[in-house]
Structure 1
Amino acid sequence: MSQDLSSPQPFRVEIADEEVERMKRIIEDTRLPDSPPLPNASWDYGVDLDWLKGLRDVWLNDFDWKEVEREMNAFQHFTVTIESVSLHFVHHQSRNVDAIPIILMHGWPGSFWEFHRVIELLTNPPSGRPAFHVVVPSLPGFGFSSPPPKKDWSMGDNARIFDHLMTGVLGYKQYMAEGGDFGALIATHLGTDKYPACKFLNVISPTAQAPLGALSTLPFFLLPTSWRQWLYGKIYSEDELRDFERNGKFIKNGLGYFVEQATRPLSIGYALYDSPVGILAWIGEKFKEHVDPEILPGCTRFILTTVSLYYLTRTFTTSTLPYFENVVALSQRLVITKPFGSSRFPHDVGSVPMSWIKRQHPQFVSLRRHDRGGHFPGFEVPNLLAEDLQHMAENYRTLFQ
């Protein structure tokens, strides 16, 4: 497919004052119940009412979007048109002459901003550690990027325009990729032979299909719990069993948003399009569930920044589309053919057993498990993510020589 020939244009984050003021008026005018409709109903029924009210109060009284803008504009932002997508991205270059280009890719309900704490760690590392030129795009339909230009726009399409961003627009002959959530799916595409400029990857929670041997253990669910746990303990490690347990709870109690967005994305998209408190309830719940609980108390401003970004850029509706457009892609058996590692954080979801990953992806070379962090490691534990990326770069620097 032909690429648009526009060059990157400098971009500043500037939301009109009247739009910010209107957001605050709507937040203030939004009615919430005085109490839950059922006695003692809390997170087991959805978002907790007191938690929601507490964040709304902080949003109204202590949150300053203009201060957020100043922080965002400390980085260099650009837009460029690729395949009719006006793509927003941060491009923060290192002063190190041998720095490795890297693209960091977010998912839902994330944004480019979840990486702002890790950028400086990568571009200006301690002496002797690998340095990076960091590129952080907003996925089409997220933040300051325009929506996908057509139906059936997949993570494979995102991989194609991101590769062109790195090679055709920015001129990097080789680069590294990192991603979680939808970013992990994009990284998986970049890790195939189709994109030779991408040399190696760090993929958070890479996907892999269950082998036949694993499927044969499904009848274990009919056994008493103690027997089932004993049998699985003979097959999987303690870490993998914990992954299974967390994924099982997510499948049982946390998939409601996924089903809605994978089947009727525009219904919830239109319903919350002009409701900042509604967006806070819908995606704030995901932060509560998938952020390390010890780190969560310090995430209030980050959560409100993310929700404000979705609302003020009017992209909540388009951010739901990838679930609908990529349901089939989630079952594709792509094989990563480049060396890649994986970072594991205990409060993330979607981690499959390493035996499955190694069977499907023979180029898997490194697993780094951590005892802190969740679904947004770039914000939650930036030092750990930076160390993982530097570890991969140290081992595969020769690919850039």
Structure 2
Amino acid sequence: MSSDEVVPFRLEVTDAELADLRDRLRRTRWPEPEPVGDWSHGVPVGYLRELCAYWADAYDWRATEARLNALPQFRTEIDGLGVHFVHARSPHPDALPLVLTHGWPGSIVEFEAVIGPLTEPDDPADAFHVVCPSLPGFGFSDKPDRPGWTVQRIADAWAVLMDRLGYPRFGAQGGDWGTSVSTCLGLQHPSRVAGIHLTPPLAAPDPATFDDLSDAERAWLEELKEIGTWETGYATEMSTKPQTIGYSLVDSPAGLCAWIIEKFQSWTDSAGSPEDALTRDQLLDNLMLYWLPRTGASAARLYRESFRQISDWILKSTSDTVSVPTGASIFPRETVRPSRRWAGRRFTNIVYWNEPPRGGHFAAFEQPELFVAEVRAFFRLVR
């Protein structure tokens, strides 16, 4: 593959690799049960044993592999790194190019159900040419072999990718790490970006409003304290010593499953189990895009690269104001929920703001119809 060549990509997992996964799952050494009757100490051993047994004995990777191979997948080299992506062109020639960026612990499978509606809508005015890249170190993109792949560098790589695909002007959408990459696209390439749609925007509370807080703002400030106390251990480990946790994430499917599924329980719009929000197969489809390419360690390194900066964007005032047209959809079980007036200090051109009735951190995965409606509603304003 030459430095600017775009080549087709196809998943071809061997039977031996799947047999190894099943063998590892069946030989897991399990800890004793947790001393509580809920998820407060982490993933309950009873739940994880049941999920891993299903993964070993009933989950059908070949069905998922066939679905993913039905999507137009490619790889290309950008800034010395091989990047994997889906590129689904709309049949409508005037469609707006749109780059969708996932985060951790997600993958491109989050967008599987929205690609069709976005590329082939009932109204051609809502059509998009969709590009879904796998972040560096995630999925079937290459793993960086040295430091430096920050969210800013990823945004520059996405700008190169869109240019290489023939898209001088495009929209950007993202959640989790994708929020930060999309924001950086707006900061670093404003002349090329039609608009950014964020789920959610990252913006700090405004101390000037603390004497006049809304109920929602007051609730979010209280939740921030709880999150800081009980929900950030994963990020502390990955942003300081990602290699250490990486060994278990690459070697043990049960360990990888627990590390990731905990977040699908905490961050989805569920009644207590992640399977209230997503099917068991969907959860495992996403896990396979970490297990098969052995990306537990390499994906964790993005936290070492950029998490402190992202934390500042959430907790502290920032001077890097974003002036490109911005849309925000704040789903009710999202992990970060700034108010519009707080977000407006950083995103100075908010043209769309909505708070849908259902959904959590993985909006496209959990609520694909609502997600598509939100994306369409924003980009109708900026095409």
TM surpasses 0.5: yes
Q: How does 1:23-62 map to 2 (within 5 A)?
A: 23-33=21-31, 35-38=32-35, 40-62=36-58
Give the number of equivalent residue pairs. 373
Distance, in Å, in 1 between the alignment partners of 2:248 and 2:259 is 11
Q: What's the offset of the Cα at 1:389?
A: 1.1
Match of 1:260 among 237, 251, 265: 237
Q: What is the aligned partner in structure 2 of residue 384 from structure 1?
A: 370
The 3 A distance-change label for structure 1 pair 282 and 212 is: same
2:117 to 90, 115, 121: 121
Q: What is the CA deviation profile of residues 317-365 of structure 1, one whole-angstrom value per residue up to 9, with x for unaligned ones?
A: 1010111111342226322110011011111102222211112221112
Pair 1:190-2:168 in alignment:
no
The aligned counterpart of 1:227 is none
3-state SS, counterpart of residue 313 of structure 1? coil
Report if the CA contact (8 A) 1:340-1:364 is conserved: yes
The one of 103, 117, 131 aligned to 2:127: 131
Q: CA deviation at 1:127?
A: 2.7
Mean Cα deviation higher: 137-146 or 260-269: 260-269
Task: Give yes or no for the alignment of 1:213 onto 2:208.
Answer: yes
Q: Secondary structure at the match of 1:192?
A: helix
Q: Give the C-alpha shift of residue 72 in structure 1.
A: 0.5
Correspondence for 1:345 among 320, 331, 353: 331
User: Matches of 1:191 and 1:373 in 2, distance apart?
Assistant: 25
Aligned to 2:174: 179
Give CA deviations for 1:186-213 in whole Å, capped at 9, x if unaligned.
Answer: 0111112534211101011211234342
Aligned in 2, Cα 1:128/1:309: closer, same or farther, shift over 3 Å? closer
**How many Å separate the matches in 2 of 1:136 and 1:92?**
9
Give runs of aligned pairs for residues 263-302 of structure 1, distance below 5 A.
263-293=240-270, 296-297=275-276, 298-302=278-282
Partner of 2:12: 14
Please identify, of 366-375 and 205-214, the stretch whose mean Cα deviation from structure 2 is larger.
Answer: 205-214
Match of 1:394 in 2: 380
Larger C-alpha radius of gyration, 1 or 2?
Answer: 1
Q: How far did 1:46 drift? A: 1.0
User: Which residue in 1 is equivalent to 2:294?
Assistant: 314
Alignment partner for residue 204 of structure 1, among 199, 207, 214? 199
* Alignment partner of 2:61 out of 65, 74, 78: 65
Aligned residues of 1:344 and 1:369 also touching (Cα < 8 A): yes
1:244 equivalent in alignment to 2:241:
no
Q: Whole-Å Cα distance in 2 between the matches of residues 141 and 193 of structure 1?
A: 22
Give 2:73's match in structure 1, choosing from 74, 77, 80. Answer: 77
Q: 5+ unaligned residues in a row in structure 1: which ranges?
A: 218-230
C-alpha displacement of 1:245:
4.2
Contact 2:34–2:45 (8 Å) recurs in 1: no
Contact 1:244 1:352 in 2 (8 A): no
TM-score of the pair, normalised by structure 2 = 0.93
> Is the partner of 1:395 in helix, strand or coil?
coil
Matched residue of 1:326: which SS? helix
Q: Displacement of 1:276 after TM fit? A: 0.5
Contact preservation (8 Å) 1:246, 1:349: no
Greater Cα shift, 100-109 or 376-385: 376-385
State how far apart, in whole Å, the 2-side matches of 1:288 and 1:312 are.
22
In 1, distance between residues paired with 2:66 and 2:81?
Answer: 26
Normalised by the size of structure 1, how large is the TM-score?
Answer: 0.89
Sort the Cα spacing of 1:391 and 1:67 in 2 relative to 1 into closer, same or farther, 3 A: same
Q: 1:9 is matched by which residue type in structure 2?
A: V
1:10/1:137 Cα in 2 relative to 1: closer, same or farther (>3 Å)?
same
Residue type at the aligned position of 1:357: A
Classify the secondary structure of the residue corresponding to 1:81: strand
Higher mean C-alpha deviation, range 328-337 or range 274-283: 328-337
Range with greater deviation from structure 2 (379-388 or 130-139): 379-388
Q: CA-atom RMSD, angstroms?
A: 1.8
Deviation, 1:6, is: 2.2
C-alpha displacement at 1:242, in angstroms?
4.0
Alpha-carbon shift at residue 36 of structure 1 (Å): 1.2
Of 154, 165, 172, the residue aligned with 1:158 is: 154
Deviation at 1:32, TM superposition (A): 1.4
What is the percent sequence identity of the aligned residues? 34
Distance 1:371 1:243, change over 3 A: farther
Determine the C-alpha separation between the residues in 2 that align with 1:377 and 1:360: 23
What SS does the aligned partner of 2:148 have?
Answer: coil
Gaps of 5+ in 2: none
Deviates more, 1:189-198 or 1:266-275: 189-198
Distance 2:218 2:327 in 1: 20
Distance in 1, Cα, partners of 2:162 & 2:361: 25
